[in-house]
């Protein structure tokens, strides 16, 4: 059932993401917004809901402290500014939530923390413990150590990953405009707000502005990408204006604010969400049309007979992307054989594996239990 009012009023575990442009004022952090959000989140938690916050704002806080006029371009300088700003950001949150006797906890993550299955589960257990203790987790990317290989890229993606990690029932993404428009409302007066998105396709992305704010790394296009991940997992998301009075309370009361992204009825299991969105592939397999149909439409395992090419070198057990002949990414899975072995058996029937390798440990190159399809519905 995808009735918005029913879902929002019934959501017990909620991720709230607050963007840089919401938290930023001309001279640093927007303290009235921080105080407003803290009041609303505290009220939600006092009524028995579990809330996890993903907060931007460290950059704005740091720039104010060291009196920078513009966001640095160089990665080490951005990391340094975020390191300076993070304590000030958390201090303001602590002071704001203390008015309502609400304890908070700071958590800094990189994508490596979620890519490792063991650390993924540790992060999940820690967050579950904090929620059980009625403590609000406030999460941000660990900017001071994140490099391209281990960064989330933006807090929209991080918020989506946290929602997947914690089996959230709703992600509220607070930004500086009312939602997703048919055109960029900052430059087009005839732009129309989309109140409901039932399917994320190329047209949806055309609507999104890819112009980030002065302090952010996202923009509307990153929010669409986050919604796409959540859609696959059956988690609803809404984009709404963060400085609107009582926006969180109004949304969770069922009021039709912002843009609602309707989730799929069929959900990926939690482990498959981890596999699809947290693990970084070490290589790729190209499949013939029959294998694509078997995997996508029929939910079958990937057999060697359907593989026509192998890209990169990887070990058995590695996460590997699989693609169509046209190069479209279909999904990701954990392989039973190394790249060297797969090159020897691709195109063969399973009963021919022994002849090619001298032994056969598995019939499948990727078993369906270790495989997650991420292909868009439109394709």
Averages of pLDDT over each 10 residues, the chain, 379 residues: 84 94 83 96 96 89 83 81 88 96 93 78 92 96 56 78 92 92 80 88 70 55 88 91 94 94 79 81 95 92 95 93 92 94 95 93 92 67
The answer to whether 16 and 52 are in contact (CB under 8 A) is yes
pTM above 0.75, yes or no: yes
Q: Is 254 left (phi over 0), alpha (psi -120 to 50) or beta?
A: left
Res 229: pLDDT: 86
Sheet of 284-287: strand order equals 307-311, 284-287, 319-323, 329-334, 371-373
Q: Are 263 and 256 in contact (CB under 8 A)?
A: no
pLDDT at 374: 79
Give every CB contact of residue 322 below 8 A, 6+ residues apart in sequence: 284, 285, 286, 287, 295, 302, 329, 330, 331, 332, 333, 366
pLDDT of res. 354 = 93
Domains of the chain (ranges; CATH) run 4-267 (3.40.1160.10), 281-373 (2.30.130.10)
What is the torsion angle, in degrees rounded to the nearest 10, for the CA atoms of residue 347, residue 352, residue 355 and residue 359? Answer: 100
Query: Which pLDDT score, from 0 to 100, does residue 378 have?
Result: 44
């Amino acid at each position: 059932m995808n009735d918005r009012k029913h879902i929002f009023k019934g959501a017990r575990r909620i991720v709230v993401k607050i963007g840089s442009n919401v938290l930023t004022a001309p001279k640093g952090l927007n303290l009235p917004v921080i105080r407003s959000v803290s009041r609303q989140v505290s009220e939600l938690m006092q009524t028995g809901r579990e809330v996890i916050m993903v907060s931007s704002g460290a950059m704005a806080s740091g720039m104010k402290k060291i009196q920078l006029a513009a966001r640095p371009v160089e990665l080490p300088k951005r990391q340094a500014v975020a390191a300076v700003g993070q304590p000030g950001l958390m201090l303001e949150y602590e002071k704001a939530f203390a008015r309502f006797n609400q304890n908070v906890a700071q958590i800094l993550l990189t994508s490596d923390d979620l890519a490792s299955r063991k650390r993924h589960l540790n992060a999940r257990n820690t967050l579950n413990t904090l929620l059980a203790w009625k403590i609000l987790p406030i999460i941000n990317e660990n900017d001071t150590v994140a490099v391209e290989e281990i960064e989330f890229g933006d807090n929209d993606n991080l918020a989506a990953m946290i929602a997947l990690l914690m089996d959230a029932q709703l992600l509220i993404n607070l930004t500086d405009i009312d939602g997703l428009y048919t055109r960029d409302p900052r430059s087009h007066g005839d732009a129309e707000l989309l109140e409901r998105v039932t399917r994320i396709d190329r047209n949806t992305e055309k609507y999104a502005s890819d112009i980030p704010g002065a302090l952010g790394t996202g923009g509307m296009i990153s929010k669409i990408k986050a919604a796409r991940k959540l859609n696959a997992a059956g988690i609803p998301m809404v984009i709404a204006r963060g400085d609107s009075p009582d926006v969180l309370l109004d949304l969770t009361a069922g009021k039709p604010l912002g843009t609602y992204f309707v989730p799929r009825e069929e959900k990926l299991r939690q482990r498959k969400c981890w596999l699809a969105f947290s693990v970084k592939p070490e290589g790729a397999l190209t499949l013939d049309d029959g294998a694509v149909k078997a995997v996508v439409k029929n939910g079958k395992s990937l057999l060697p007979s359907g593989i026509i090419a192998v890209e990169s070198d990887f070990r058995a057990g590695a996460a590997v992307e699989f693609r169509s002949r046209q190069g479209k990414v279909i999904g990701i899975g954990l392989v039973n054989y190394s790249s060297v072995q797969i090159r020897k058996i691709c195109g063969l029937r399973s009963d021919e594996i022994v002849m090619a390798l001298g032994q056969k440990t598995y019939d499948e190159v990727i078993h369906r239990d270790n495989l997650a399809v991420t292909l868009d519905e439109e394709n």
